Amino acid sequence: MLGLLGKKLGQTSVYDSGGVLVPVTVVLAGPNRVIQTKTAHSDGYNAVQLGFDDQKEHRVTKALMGHFKKHGAAAVKRVREFRNFTLEVKPGDIVGPGIFAQGDFVDAIGITKGRGFEGVMKRHNFRGGDASHGAKGFRRRSGAIGQRLFPGTVMRGMKMPGHMGQVRRTAQNLQIIQVREADNLLLIKGAIPGANNDYVIIRESKKLPKGSERAKRRLAVKTGAAHEGPAPKGAKAAAKPAAAPAKPAAPKK
């Protein structure tokens, strides 16, 4: 499972190879430094620990700084572990957007924008109360939330006003439009959770991994190219050639 730590820079539009204008999100995806490699023999599982965005040593906790010095790494702001990393690396190596290629599908993980305290119409898409027939003061309210004598309490999970946003979200199956390795940039089609300059995680798509037949079919559909490969699971078999028309019966004498 390939992955990188990055920073969301903003949104723009670029032309793809077919001359179509595509909206993309620009992600600074490097350089990522390999801090530690874990193995099943020494740690019980296989993983690679990556660090991103340099930091001053006095701004890092003593425990984390001790970890960096133990593995001979420089201080960084963000550290992330990727299990079963399919690329052979060792501590001290530099990993960048070059591990991905144009057309690959990725998952983007980030923290959504915080919206503060919001009402039920914006937070849960409630329709609100009536604006006519004598209704007053209930235009943007949720309405009744309780019951009668039994159970006499508000049901758990009731949708009500409250804090909106600032939660971890994953956008799946996003396509990479361009890889600018010299600038450590990935141009990814679509929107990514978070505000500009927020940290994000870009990992190989779980549903459309690189080289899978499912990813090849999806890419062929998006580009309009013919796909040569096994038919998708559950697809109907090709229709048999039609039989030759039967000869007309001879007229009776």
What the chain holds in terms of domains, given with CATH numbers, is 3-114+166-223 (2.40.30.10), 115-165 (no CATH)
Residue 157 has pLDDT above 50, yes or no: yes
Residue 166 has pLDDT above 70, yes or no: yes
Residue 33 has pLDDT above 70, yes or no: yes
Q: DSSP secondary-structure letter at 57?
A: G
Report the C-alpha gap between 70 and 36 in whole angstroms. Answer: 10
Mean pLDDT on 205-215: 85
Across the chain, what does the average pLDDT equal? 88
The residue count for the chain: 253
Cα distances from 23 to residues 12, 15, 172, 174, 177, in angstroms, run 6, 9, 16, 12, 10
Report pLDDT for 72: 92
Please answer whether residues 154 and 189 qualify as being in contact, where contact means their C-beta atoms are separated by less than 8 angstroms. Answer: no
Question: Strand order of the sheet with strand 94-95?
Answer: 76-83, 47-54, 32-38, 94-95
Report pLDDT for 248: 67
